[in-house]
Structures are given as structure tokens and as C-alpha cells.
Structure 1
Amino acid sequence: MKIRYAKEKDTKTIKEIWKYCFNDTPVFMDYYFKHKYSRGNTVVVNEDDEIVSSLQLNQYKINLNNKVYDTSYVVGVSTFPEVRGRGYMKHIMEFTLEELYKKGQLVSILMPIDYRLYRRYGYEHCYDQLEYNIDINDLGKLKISGRMHKVNDSHIGSLIDIHNEFLKNVNGNVLRDEEYYKVLFEEIKSEGGHIYIHEDKGYEGYIIYFLNGDNMFVRELYYKNMNSLKSMMKFIYNHNTQLKTVTITSPLDDKIRFTLENPKTTDVKIKPFMMGRIINLKGYLESLDVPKELNASINICIEDNFINENDGVFKIEIRDGKVLVNKVEGKSDISFNINTFTQLAFSYIDIEEALFLNNICIDDIKQDVIDLLKSIFTKKVNYINEYV
């Protein structure tokens, strides 16, 4: 068995694995392998001169705790059925984590088909979405002000502006630029979707949606104000002769519920969406901004079974607004595995939740340790909405 990056000759087999495992349409596969696939970011398992397993590391920039990080989004983890159960996934994930560390990336993200598969490799749940399931007739009393336009390339600047305004208070989202939206247009087209932009006093919101039988699935509903939100909800209602229901996904701090005439007839649930992982503990901590007046240090023990550089006791010193981290010998003030540390680092949980989830009594931890960790890790609303 050999694990390596893909070569040009491997593309045909990688497509075959993808098609078998994910059952995507030919149109979507054409889009993906034209616009997203890169053999330089594809890891394969070669057994007896045959490609039997692969994954892709799609590159994004995410805004995490007011810092921008290059990150690998692990997608397409797949193995031919006749060789499953031989441990290829374990080997390909071990190789991938080592490579991400060598490349200098500090964080990684992954959308799991099953959380249990990836927790063992240090990935942990870090992102949720709200999912609304609404009877479309409940939106009938709303009104449209302004106009809706089918999106084209001339709207990209406005889409970026709406995106940035809508997500200004959330954490962990992907930075989007002109090239991002051009590729997104191709993705939505490949899946038979639609994108419209709302204009009233300028461009104020946009909607990405798909028609599936008698249901509309709204992938993104981004807006600058309630006027735009209500207008786009009425736009959804105007499909009432075609559809019975609409499903909308949104950040946890979304305002859709305030537009509903009778919220009790709407099913609203929290939908687990994305996992994250700290790839380089020292590098990530030293990248953070902390209060300049804070001067303190603690020893923290981290258990990481796959990236040796993250495993051990680390002395964290904060001086003059900088974080210094070094691996040391000796006792620790507090201990976490890489999964819990990742949730703290991604601001998905706070220190009290970390202690509770690990059955650690807060009274057993020195208050200055708690205070220092609170100064580094604060809970935020995380949101991300990338699918490949």
C-alpha cells in the first residue's frame, strides 16, 4: 500500500470512486471536477497499482476569531466497496493530518456523513445551522417592496456586500470574493438551483434555492434589513401554486422567526453542520490577539493521538498582547483532548462547558487558570455554509 498525492492518470478512477460513493449527477460531477478538483490537493491510496481510496483537500480562507486562516476542507473521503474494512481510511487520514501540519495550516474543516468516523481523528463538532420547515401559505400576508432580479455576473459586487453585512456578527465563515461567486454560480446551476437578488433602496438581499417536488429548499437567504427579508419571504410565498412547504437553513442568530405570523406552525430545529480540527496547536494559539494588560501563564495538557506535535504538556504565556507556547515537561494545570480543545479554539464552547463536558469539577481548577482560559477563548455564534 502506498499513500500519495494524485497524478493525472488517476483522475478517471477518482471520478469512479466519487460517483459510486456519492451518487451525484453527471452534471454536478462535471462541475466539481472542472472547478473544484485539484490533483495537487487530492490524496489517494494505491494498492497493487490500483487506486482504491481517495479524499480531497479543497482550499478556503476562513475568518476565525477575527483572524484569516488558510484551511483545508476535507471532502470526498471515499473507498471502493470491495476493499472497505481494510483500514484504508485510517491510513489516509493519518497521512492527511501529517501533510496539513507540514504545510503550515493551523486549522481544518470537514462535513461528516457520520460524526463517529471522524471524532477518532480529532475532528469535532463546531458549527450548527437553524433549519426552518414552513407551510408556504403561512407567508401569504407578507408584502414585497422593490423588485427581485435573477442574478448575473454584474451583481457579484452586491452579493459580496450583502454576504459581508449579513455575516458580520458570526464566527468561522468563509471569505468570499468575485472568483468564489463565479464558481458558486456554476455549482448552483449544476444542481438545477436559482439565485435572485432583492433591490429596493439599492441591493439589499439575495436568495439561493432549489425546487424539489412540492418543497423549496433555501440554501441561503441573506439580507441587510427586515424589509428585504420580508420581501424575499413573500417571493417564496408566490410559489404557492407550485409548492406546499419551504425549508430554510440559516445562522443561529437569524431573524426569520420574527417574520412568521404564527411561529407555532413552523418546525424549527438545530442542524449539526460542520466539524473542525486544530492542526497546529502552538501556531494557532500564537496567532491570537489577547488583551495587552494581561500577563499570566498556565500549563495545559493536550492529548492528540495523530499529530505528535500537539500531544503533551504546553506552557502558555501571555505577555504584552502576545501568546507564547512551548512544550514542557512536568504537571499541567488542566487537561483536554484535541477534540475539546478544538471546540474551544473555534469558539463553539466556553471554558465552563469544556469542564462540564469532560466531567471536570470547576472547584478543582484554580481560578487564575479559569480566568486565563476565559481571556483566550470566548463563545461565539459560528456559521459556515460551504458544501464542497
Structure 2
Amino acid sequence: MEKADKYIEVNGDFKMRKLTENDLEQFNGLLRYAFQITMEDLLHTGWTEDQIMHAKMPILKNAYVLGWFYHDKLASMIVVYSMKVNIHDYICKMGGVTGVATYPEYTGRGLIHSLIKQAIRHMHKEGQSISFLYPYSIPLYRKHGWEIISDKITFTIKDTQLPKVKPVTGMMERVELDREDLLNVHDYFSMQRHGAMIRDEMAWDEYWRWDNDDIIAAIYYNKNHKPLGYLIYYIRNDIFHIKEMVYLNTEASHGIWNYISAHHSMVNEVKGNNFSGEPMAFMFEDSEIVENIEPYFMARIIDVQDFILKYPFLDKSQKIKINFKITDSIAKWNNGVFKVYWNEEETYCEKTDDLHAANLVEIDIQTLTTMFMGYKRPTFLYECGRINTEYYMLRILEQLIPVEKPYFSDYF
């Protein structure tokens, strides 16, 4: 355990250091204050006060938690989880940023800015070439290099609009939340879905942490009792709430929707979230369902050179060298021109000083991230003024970058 007196930065009476298990009470206090969580709210989940107090202890043990202290009082903090995410079938180390908070009396001192800069340095040192976060302020995180990379589409379906039952040979089975089959289905799903997080034990703990006792899990098994999908849900006030729906093939999708439709006499409507980036209405016979779209997670490339070297470009037979001129106001190692080319399916990326190279693509770190993640296409970004290049380069970029929007359904 790192000693509490080992400071990373000192600024007058303010000192930056990593938090330890001894800081648990202050850590919980700032979280509750900043995110307006009361003890009463938490007790409604069925937890005891002692359980609530120690629920976040694993974070202080396993995550990188950094804070500014005014004398001995925690004033501001940031948390970085060590995670993994699927980027076009490449499993990438990812720094999950959360818990960014400051007490109001300490705002306006640049505390958050300096914490973010240090967190980025930490992720770079740890080889986490990309970072994800859920933004409480999109402009703030754009300023620090993150950009939107996924959407959340919230849907509401009336009981009369639920799909008709379609014949399947398998069946749904309600199971315990820790059923190994459920975890295995998500593992298989996330390994073949661009943008999906690879959930380890800590990620699953965060996934379940504050759920009420009425949460239910059900798995779809085919006729050979092979798990092919699952549904996490609860029913409250005549509404069927879908927390998560995962399926590996069409049969499992039909089986899950058959199961939901079987509740039609118990509920008035079904509510849930869709993270695929595509509306669901087309799938229903009665397509007049309500869908609301909003930006969800943001990401930022931490190490451009490492990310590009491992990125699964589509057409590596290209006989061209692309020069990405990148600007990054925080991570200085990302500033400059990166020459990218391919030889026999291998990607090369070299940093150069040639600011006037041919095939130049001028782009900031935010735009580079959302483009490589597939959330927005190169042509769209060019038309928005986010990319400066010759028009012929757009065709090349379109051929190189896979066409698939990220699927990210987690929250931390």
C-alpha cells in the first residue's frame, strides 16, 4: 500500500496524492455529496449502513484513486479503473474514468484539470491506450480530449405492441444472478461486439452493486441446453423494466421477446435501453413505439502510436502512407505527425517532424477517437469541419476504418 505522505504534487495548502483504504470515509462522503446520493436512497436498495460504508472498499484496493487534499480534508478526486474493451475484435486495455468530483468550496482552482492530466499520465504508463467515461459535462471532457463514441436509445413499448410469439425450440429459465452461464454468454457476446466491455469480477460487482432485491435474471437455452442469451429485468408499477438484453443469435432474440410478451397481462408497458446505435422500431410489427436517443459514453485515445499499431484496419493492402497531424492539448506525446503505412498485413506507425508531408490528415485527438471507434465516419467529420485534408483522402479513410458503431451498455 502506498504511504499517504507520498505526494504527487503540492500547491500551497493543497496536496495531491493517491487515496488509500484509510481514506474510505472521506471517499464515500465526497461521492455522496457530489452525486447527491443520500443514505436513505442507499438503504432502499436493501443494504445495511455497514455494507454501504464498505461497498466501495474494493475500488480503493484495486483502482487508481487520486485526490487533492486541503490540509487533511479530501477536496477533489478522480478514479481510474483498469478495464478491457473490444475494439473491432482487438481486446484493448482501457482506463475507465469515474468518480470525478470536487466540493463546491474548492471549485475554480483547477483541481479537476490537474487530476485529469495526472490520470492520463497514469493510463499512459499502464499501457491503457484508450479511456472511457460517462460524462456529467460533455464540454468539460471534450476540452480534455474525450469525444462521444456511443448512444443510448431509450424505448417504451405498450403491452399491445409487444411482438407476437414466434416458435423456438428452446426455453427461458430464471436463474441466480451469479449463474456461470450468464457470465459466459456476456463473455462470448463481448468478444464479438465492437465497443463492448470485457467484464471482469470488479466490473460485474459494479454492474450489480446498487440493484434492488427485485432484479431478476433469465437465460435462454436452446434445445441442447446451450445458453444463447439472457435478460436482466424487474417489474414495478405495472412496467417491465429491461436492465440488459443480450442474445447471440436470432433464435435467442425470439425466445427472449416471447418471454417478455408472456408478461402482457401483468404490465402496461415495457421500458429499456438499446445500445446498438440503431433504432428498434423497424423490428416490430407495430413500429409506432417511442424511442429517445441521447449521447452515452465518451472515449479518448491515450497513446496514439500504440493504438494505431494495434488497430484492425480493414484494407492493409493500401500502397499509401497517411500522415496524421494530431493535436492533443493534454497528452503531449500525441502531438505531431504520425506516418502510418502497411506492408504484408502489418501496420507501421512512425512519429515524424514533417509538418508538410503528403497525404496529410489534420485532426485533433477527440475527432481521431470518434472516427477510429466508428461512431462518426470520416466523410461526415470532414463535412463538419473536424478534419482538414484533401478530399481524395476521405475515400481511403472510409476503406480503412471498419463500419460498425460501438456497443457499450455498461456504466461506472
- Specify the TM-score bucket, using the shorter chain as the normaliser: 0.7 to 0.9
Counterpart selection for 1:93 from 99, 102, 116: 116
Counterpart selection for 1:199 from 187, 212, 221: 221
CA distance in 1, matches of 2:108, 2:269: 41
CA distance in 1, matches of 2:34, 2:97: 15
Matches within 5 A, 1:331-370: 331-332=356-357, 333-358=360-385, 365=390, 367=392, 369-370=393-394
Superposed CA offset, 1:171-230 (max 9, x none): 1111246x4686367436457422111234223321112334343321211224444334
Partner residue, 1:379: 403
Give, as a single letter, the amino acid of the residue that structure 1 aligns with 2:242. Answer: V
Residue 86 of structure 1, CA deviation: 2.9
Partner residue, 2:241: 217
Question: In the alignment, does 2:270 pair up with 1:246?
Answer: yes
SS in 1 for 2:341: strand
Q: What CA RMSD, in Å, does the superposition of the two structures yield over aligned residues?
A: 3.0
Superposed CA offset, 1:317-369 (max 9, x none): 333322222131432522111110111121222221221122668xx6062x4
Residue 78 of structure 1, CA deviation: 1.3
Aligned residues of 2:150 and 2:275 also touching (Cα < 8 A): no
1:345/1:137 CA distance change after superposition, 3 Å: same
Partner residue, 2:351: 326
Aligned residues of 1:130 and 1:249 also touching (Cα < 8 A): yes
Question: In the alignment, does 2:322 pair up with 1:298?
Answer: yes
CA distance in 1, matches of 2:183, 2:261: 26
Unaligned 5+ residue runs, structure 2? Answer: 1-13
Aligned residues of 1:172 and 1:383 also touching (Cα < 8 A): yes
Matches within 5 A, 1:85-124: 85-124=108-147
Partner residue, 1:286: 309
Aligned residues of 1:315 and 1:327 also touching (Cα < 8 A): yes
Residue 37 of structure 1, CA deviation: 4.7
CA distance in 2, matches of 1:80, 1:192: 34
CA distance in 1, matches of 2:338, 2:207: 45
Aligned residue pairs total 382
Superposed CA offset, 1:76-128 (max 9, x none): 11112332333222121121112212222210000112212211000000012
Aligned residues of 2:153 and 2:279 also touching (Cα < 8 A): no
Aligned residues of 2:195 and 2:406 also touching (Cα < 8 A): yes
Question: In the alignment, does 2:30 pair up with 1:13?
Answer: no
CA distance in 2, matches of 1:86, 1:105: 28
Give, as a single letter, the amino acid of the residue that structure 2 aligns with 1:387. Answer: Y
SS in 2 for 1:207: strand
CA distance in 1, matches of 2:339, 2:278: 39
Partner residue, 1:2: 15
Counterpart selection for 1:126 from 149, 153, 163: 149
Partner residue, 2:6: none
CA distance in 2, matches of 1:281, 1:359: 18
CA distance in 2, matches of 1:182, 1:305: 34
Aligned residues of 1:54 and 1:76 also touching (Cα < 8 A): yes
Aligned residues of 1:148 and 1:196 also touching (Cα < 8 A): yes
Give, as a single letter, the amino acid of the residue that structure 1 aligns with 2:26. Answer: T
Aligned residues of 2:165 and 2:258 also touching (Cα < 8 A): yes
Residue 3 of structure 1, CA deviation: 2.1
1:313/1:184 CA distance change after superposition, 3 Å: closer
CA distance in 1, matches of 2:372, 2:128: 15
Partner residue, 2:7: none
Aligned residues of 2:216 and 2:233 also touching (Cα < 8 A): yes
Give, as a single letter, the amino acid of the residue that structure 1 aligns with 2:271. Answer: T
1:148/1:36 CA distance change after superposition, 3 Å: farther
Partner residue, 1:183: 205
Residue 166 of structure 1, CA deviation: 4.9
Residue 29 of structure 1, CA deviation: 4.5
Partner residue, 1:53: 76
Partner residue, 1:163: 186
Residue 62 of structure 1, CA deviation: 0.7
Aligned residues of 1:35 and 1:183 also touching (Cα < 8 A): no
CA distance in 2, matches of 1:140, 1:341: 40
Give, as a single letter, the amino acid of the residue that structure 2 aligns with 1:25. Answer: L
Aligned residues of 2:189 and 2:247 also touching (Cα < 8 A): yes
CA distance in 1, matches of 2:153, 2:123: 31
TM-score when normalising by structure 2: 0.82
Superposed CA offset, 1:300-325 (max 9, x none): 21111000011122222333322222
More helix by share: 1
1:374/1:220 CA distance change after superposition, 3 Å: same
Aligned residues of 1:296 and 1:319 also touching (Cα < 8 A): no
CA distance in 2, matches of 1:165, 1:58: 22
1:316/1:258 CA distance change after superposition, 3 Å: closer
